[in-house]
Chain A
Amino acid sequence: MNAIKVTHLSKQFGKQTVLADINLTIEPNTIYGLLGRNGAGKSTLLNLITNRLPSPAGMVTIGGGNVTNNDALLNRIYMMSEANLYPSRMPVSEIFKLTADLYQGFDKDYADALVAKFELDPRTRFNKLSTGYRSVMKLIIALAVDVDYVFLDEPTLGLDANHRQLFYEELIDSYAERPRTFVISTHLIEEIANVIERVFVIQDHRLMINDTTENVLQEGYAITGPSTEVQTYTEGLNVIGRESLGNLLVQYVYGKLDNDREIPDTVTVSHIDLQKLFIYLTSQGGHREI
C-alpha cells in the first residue's frame, strides 16, 4: 500500500490564505489526529486531499499518482464531513445501497450490524435525521466501505456520550480487523488522545506539528514552582503558556529541556496532556491568572 503525499499545498479563497505550503505524508495503517482551532484550515486540507476542491497550488499524490479526478485513487479514500452530500430525500437504506453500488466492497452485513447497535432506523429519510444520526449514518458508511484511507471531519458531531463511546470502540475494532488509515479531525481532543498514533497540528494555516503522539507528549512540560526559580529555569526555553497563582508559577514548555540546567528543589517538572498542550500551542503564549 502507498502513502498519501501532500507537497507544497496552498489554498486561497479570494485574498484570504487558508493554507500555506503544507507538506506532509499520511502513512498506511495509521490513526492520525488532525488538530487545529476553528478556521485554521483543517477542513480545507481534508477537502483538498480528497479532491473535493479542485486543482490547488501544490500536489496530493497516492503512490505517486495525482488524486485530481483520479477515480482509481479517489475510490481508495472515504471522507465523512459535516457537509451533507447525499440526496437529502433518500432513505438511509437507499443511501447504503447507492454506496454499495459506487464503492466496491461495501460491507453490507457490517453496516447492518452497526445500524442495529446505533439504533438507527434505516427507513428514515436523510433530511429527517437529527444531526447526531446524520453523523451516525456517515460513520457507519465510513467504517463499512473498503478503502485504505478514511478521513473523519468532526466525526462525533451531535453524538451523545453513549454513541461516542460506541463509535470509538467500533473504530478500534474495525481498525484491528482490517488495518487502514484514519485521519480524525476533532475538537474533542481528550477523547481521541489515546487513540491516535500521530498528530498533525495546523496553526495559522501552516503545519505546526507533525509527529507521533508519544513524542509530542514527551516534549510538553509543566514547570511548577516559585515564580523566580521557574523563570530562571525556563529562561531561553520554548515557553508556550503560563498560569500563576500568587507567587506560584506554572510555565508550559514545548520542546527539549536543557539537560545541563539543574532543577531547583522547589521546582517540579511534569508532563501535560494533549488537550492542554494543544490549547497552549495554539493560543500563542497566553497568560492566565487564577
Chain B
Amino acid sequence: MQFNFDSTEPLYLQVADQLEEAIFLNSFQEGEQVPSTTEISKQFHINPATVLKGMNILVDSGFLEKKRGLGMFVTTGANDKIRTKRQDEFYADFVSNLVSEAKKLSLPETAIIEMVKRGFERS
C-alpha cells in the first residue's frame, strides 16, 4: 500500500481511496484482515482518528467489516462491489473530462471514437 499525499483532497478520503485501491488490486484479499488503524497511522504518521474516518467510509460502502475484538476484514464480494462502483463513476470521472478536453482542442466526436478504438486494439 502506498499513500501519495497531495493537498487537494482531505486526508481521510485519501486513506479511503488508497485502501479501496489496495483491495481492488487484491493487495488485501477478500476475507483477509487489513492493517489496524494504529499500524497505518504509525507507518504514515497520520492521526488515528483520520485513518479511522477513512476506514469507516469503506465500512459504510460495504468493502470492509469490523469484527469485534479482531479488527477490520475485507468483505466477501468487496472486489465486485468496488468494480461496480467504479463502473458507475466511470462516466463522471473519465468521459466528461475527455469530452471537455476534446472540445478545448477542437477534436470532433468521430476522432475521439477513433482514438478509443485504437486504444482498445493496442492493449
Contact = CB atoms under 8 A, between A and B. Distances in A.
Interface residues of A, number: 22
Contact of B47 (A195, A217, A271, A272): A195
A31 B47 contact: yes
A172 B10 contact: no
A201 B5 CA distance: 23
A173 B47 contact: no
A218 interface: yes
B38 A176 contact: yes
B118 interface: no
A194 B46 contact: yes
A176 B49 CA distance: 10
A173 B38 contact: yes
B42 A217 contact: no
A134 B2 CA distance: 34
Contact of B10 (A173, A191, A214, A265): A214
A273 interface: yes
Interface residues of B, number: 20
Interface string B4-39: 010111111000000000000000000000000110
Contacts of A196: 47
Given A214-B12, A272-B7, A273-B7, A172 B41 contact: yes
A197 B45 contact: no
B45 A195 contact: yes
A259 interface: no
B48 interface: yes
The 9 closest A-B pairs by CB, nearest first: A176-B38, A273-B7, A194-B46, A168-B45, A172-B42, A271-B7, A271-B8, A172-B41, A197-B47
Given A172-B38, A176-B41, A197-B47, 7 more contacts: A169-B42, A176-B38, A194-B50, A213-B11, A214-B11, A214-B50, A265-B104
